[in-house]
Amino acid sequence: MKNKILLLSLAAALSAVGGEKVITPNDFTGSDSERIAKAIAEGVRTKAFRMTIPAENRVRGENVWILDRTIEIPSDFSLLIKEARLVAAPGFEGPLVSNASAKGGKPDKNIELLGLGSRKGALVGAKAILAKNVNGFIFSNFEVCDAKAGAIEIADGVLTGRLSNVRFTTPVPKGIVVADGCRQIEVHEIVAPCDGVAAVPAAAGWASNLWATVSDGAADLPIPALMPAPRKLKKGRGYFGAPSAYVTRDWISFSRDAKLPAEGYRLSVRPTGVTVVAADANGELHAMTTLRQLAGEKMPYCNCDFYDGGDWGRPLRVPCCEIEDWPAYRWRGMLIDEGRHFFGKETVKHVLDQMAYHKYNVLHWHLTEDQGWRIALDRFPKLVEYGSVRPHSPVHFDYAGENNGEKYGPFYYTKDEIREIVAYAAARGITVVPEVEFPGHIRAALAGYPEYSCVGPTLPRVPRTTWGIEDDVLCVGNDEALRFVEQILDEVVPLFPGEFFHIGGDECPTKRWKECPKCIARAKELGLVGPEKLQGWVTKRFTEYLAKKGKRVLGWDEILECDIPTASGVMSWRGTAGGIKASRLGHDVVMCPQSHCYFNRMQGIADDPFTARNKSQCVSLEKVYRFDPVAGIPAEYRAHVLGSQACFWSEVIWNRYDLDWKMWPRACALAEVLWTSPEKRDFAEFKARMAAYRKTLIGRGVNCAPLD
């Protein structure tokens, strides 16, 4: 237990020093062995007491480091191998790595050899590691290749140590040798082909937990609950013994088939291996997600810069099966509103992990609102100075609550944080579609720049502090106000490389326009019957502006009230009528009626501890599951229905745990609506599967609501 705590402490310490210079052999000259020795000496001199061997050897232009002598790790030192291969030079028998005092002298105190990254580092040679005359060690998370008996030797003079998550790539009888004189040695999660497990001789005072990775061909494993259910699944006999405790590309055989539907894949799991035939890169990602669910992977679906893998469980066993699968809809999304309540980078990443695990592929990121502006821009610093902080908000658990007297903010994302999240999403096959609202829902921006409102500089410099719709909107009769929005878009658009850009366009009161001389004059100039018709004009103007930047505009169904280009997409939220009309007019449509897709509403469970935005209407699990995005749309127009999304408006969603509660299990139901073909869906079967699957969600750290 002590060693495990030490290992976890090391991982935490590594994360904490992200801004510190990392010492690597690339900073020095000489042979690979000389450069590594110099880097270790520098780590001791600077009291960093660690050195990283990176994936890139800049001399060789690859991840290989050729060793003609042993790497000697001094006392209290950590050697970190980040996806590198340490290869014995011809004629060098090793060991490749040893503690410095193995040759004699005063015993070393503690040493560590730790693999980093999503792919294991490798020690390639007949003898990999010798630990001798050292008080303690931790060796974890690497591969041993081309090894012989005694490749890892724990010799006399070792008091305590932990060897874990080591993979032998070939059978090695007695690949690990522990001397009888060693006292407290733990050997865990050692993986090798089963005909000759990386065996150790019996010895007193140490524990072992060695796992073979090849199926015996006779055992039969059940297919676990899969979410969403695949289109075609045929159960096989036996299982595949994976060589790791988590799904990695290196033990999967990939190929492509352009005849498969977009994002589709064929997955074959046999005792001898796993093959994936995919339509595209996203199809490969979906196949790997299915493997994670089939194998019951315990690791969170994440990419850690410092420590990924390690001591979290036994190698996976994947039940044999044949699966052919592809999505029913192109747009499988979630809207997260951070204008009212700000969740922050880690919560957004948590949501993205869960989305990817359920084959969602669009994050609709609602970043600007009357109550908060969440994007820091270079040209307009007052957007976050004034717009990202409220002096107070409504009291918790009350949609129309009184002033709570609590300052909220400043909360916002920098450009670098946005780029980080967009990249994090892309690595999981998810496109981030931003929403920057105008001409309504812009009160927080006007707090920073009140001169662009209809009332001018007299407008109080605070965002809206209650929920609901704000009367103060963009002054569309003011050319400078229009240029203000253009310049905002000029900065925001490059942050999001996806096809679509959402401009809102909904719930824009016209009270101020009817009182504003500039807006009245603008309406007269355009020949409109009154200022209330200006929204259609400004929506069309910015639709065309964004088209010149290569973006397709999305807007809520109110944008149909003007003559917008058919390339613009429509989100139908006030029921389905807007989406039906839009599809007939040639617009692509995302059907997200509040009756079925607004998950901030009640979900019909007893004793719900989390408040819903709308207590009078219920969006139950069954209601979500029975939603049909193309209902009421003639067959000839159904191709315009991109899909649907769950919407999480955050007036009464305070944090990740509340967000999780409202999201799951209903998001499982919508995931199946958008992925699985209608003829394969059955609510009773889904609910039975969901009862078992809920335990999986909870095990992944999700605050999942009960089914009833």
Together in a domain, 50 and 153:
yes
pLDDT at 44 over 70: yes
Name the residue among 218, 162, 165 with its Cα closest to residue 186.
162
Together in a domain, 293 and 361:
no
DSSP secondary structure string for all residues of 372-384: -B-B--SS-THHH
User: Cα(519)–Cα(524) distance, rounded to whole angstroms?
Assistant: 9
> How far is residue 609 CA from its own chain's centroid?
27
* Amino acid letter for position 615: K
Together in a domain, 174 and 278:
no
- The burial class, CB within 10 Å (0-12 / 13-18 / 19+), for 520 is middle
- 290 pLDDT tier (thresholds 50, 70, 90): very high
Task: With respect to residue 225, please indicate whether it lies within any of the assigned structural domains.
Answer: no
277: helix, strand or coil: strand
pLDDT at 1 over 90: no
* Strand duo 158-168 + 129-131: pairing: unpaired
Together in a domain, 625 and 692:
yes
The whole-number pLDDT of residue 20 equals 55
3-state SS string over 507-527?
CCCCHHHHHCHHHHHHHHHHC
Task: With respect to residue 705, please indicate whether it lies within any of the assigned structural domains.
Answer: no
Report phi then psi at 205, rounded to 5. 90, 5
Together in a domain, 196 and 302:
no
Task: With respect to residue 219, please indicate whether it lies within any of the assigned structural domains.
Answer: no
Q: What is the mean pLDDT of residues 599-625?
A: 87
- 14 pLDDT tier (thresholds 50, 70, 90): very low
Find the helix or strand (DSSP H, E) in which 345 lies.
Answer: helix 345-357
Together in a domain, 383 and 318:
no
Structural domain for 430, as ranges: 331-699
Whether cis (ω within 30° of 0) applies to the bond prior to 228 is: yes
More confident residue, 413 or 15: 413
Q: What is the dihedral of CA 530, 536, 539, 542, to 10 degrees?
A: -70
> How far is residue 693 CA from its own chain's centroid?
20
pLDDT at 313 over 90: no
User: Cα(453)–Cα(439) distance, rounded to whole angstroms?
Assistant: 10
Beta bridge partners of 391: none
Together in a domain, 346 and 264:
no
- 169 pLDDT tier (thresholds 50, 70, 90): confident
Name the residue among 375, 463, 482 with its Cα closest to residue 419.
375
**Of the residues 284, 309, 325, the one at which a domain ends:** 325
Report phi then psi at 266, rounded to 5. -120, 125
The whole-number pLDDT of residue 628 equals 97
Residue 69 tokens read as 């002598």
Task: Say which CATH number the domain at 254 has.
Answer: 3.30.379.10
Task: With respect to residue 224, please indicate whether it lies within any of the assigned structural domains.
Answer: no
Average pLDDT taken over every residue of the chain:
89
Task: With respect to residue 103, please indicate whether it lies within any of the assigned structural domains.
Answer: yes
The whole-number pLDDT of residue 148 equals 87
Q: How many CB atoms lie within 10 A of CB 622?
A: 17
Whether 48 and 67 have beta carbons less than 8 Å apart is answered as no
**Of the residues 181, 212, 243, the one at which a domain ends:** 212
The whole-number pLDDT of residue 5 equals 40
Together in a domain, 169 and 242:
no
Residue given tokens 């999403």 in the structure block: 425
**Of the residues 277, 309, 325, the one at which a domain ends:** 325
Q: What is the pLDDT of residues 122-138, one digit of tens each?
A: 999 999 999 999 999 99
Together in a domain, 321 and 335:
no
Q: What per-residue string of b and e applies to 39-63 under the rule 16 or more CB within 10 Å gives b?
A: bbebbbeeebebbbbbbebeeeeeb
pLDDT at 352 over 90: yes
Q: What is the pLDDT of residues 452-465, one digit of tens each?
A: 999 999 999 999 99
Name, of 81-90, 241-250, 328-337, 562-571, the range with top average pLDDT: 328-337
Residue 453 tokens read as 């409102």
Residue 623 tokens read as 């209601």
Task: Say which CATH number the domain at 690 has.
Answer: 3.20.20.80
Whether 206 and 180 have beta carbons less than 8 Å apart is answered as no
User: Cα(213)–Cα(210) distance, rounded to whole angstroms?
Assistant: 10
Task: With respect to residue 227, please indicate whether it lies within any of the assigned structural domains.
Answer: no
Together in a domain, 606 and 673:
yes
Please report, for residues 247, 251, 469, 654, the alpha-carbon distance to residue 320 in angstroms, rounded to integers and kept in the order given: 15, 15, 55, 43
Together in a domain, 284 and 362:
no
The whole-number pLDDT of residue 218 equals 53
User: Cα(43)–Cα(52) distance, rounded to whole angstroms?
Assistant: 10
User: Cα(178)–Cα(183) distance, rounded to whole angstroms?
Assistant: 10
Name the residue among 558, 598, 576, 569 with its Cα closest to residue 438.
558
More confident residue, 221 or 360: 360
Q: What is the mean pLDDT of residues 486-490?
A: 98
- Report the predicted TM-score, pTM, of the whole model to 2 decimal places: 0.79
Question: 3-state DSSP helix/strand/coil percent for the chain, to nearest 5?
Answer: 30, 25, 45
- 267 pLDDT tier (thresholds 50, 70, 90): very high
- 314 pLDDT tier (thresholds 50, 70, 90): low
Q: What is the pLDDT of residues 614-672, one digit of tens each?
A: 677 899 999 999 999 999 999 999 999 999 999 999 998 989 999 999 999 999 999 99
Q: What is the mean pLDDT of residues 16-23?
A: 58
Q: How many domains does the chain have?
A: 3
pLDDT at 7 over 50: no
Q: What is the mean pLDDT of residues 429-436?
A: 98
Task: Say which CATH number the domain at 191 has.
Answer: 2.160.20
* Strand duo 206-212 + 232-241: pairing: unpaired
Q: What is the pLDDT of residues 389-431, one digit of tens each?
A: 999 999 887 777 788 999 999 999 999 999 999 999 999 999 9
Task: With respect to residue 226, please indicate whether it lies within any of the assigned structural domains.
Answer: no
Residue 181 tokens read as 């004189």
The whole-number pLDDT of residue 8 equals 39
pLDDT at 37 over 80: yes
- 207 pLDDT tier (thresholds 50, 70, 90): low
The whole-number pLDDT of residue 517 equals 97
Please, which contacts does 617-621 make with residues 24 or more away whose CB atoms are closer than 8 Å? 619/595, 619/666, 621/665, 621/666, 621/669, 621/687, 621/690, 621/707
Share of the chain above pLDDT 90, in %: 73
Task: With respect to residue 514, please indicate whether it lies within any of the assigned structural domains.
Answer: yes
The whole-number pLDDT of residue 208 equals 53
* Strand duo 265-270 + 317-325: pairing: antiparallel
Together in a domain, 184 and 256:
no
Q: What is the pLDDT of residues 514-555, one digit of tens each?
A: 999 999 999 999 999 999 999 999 999 999 999 999 999 999
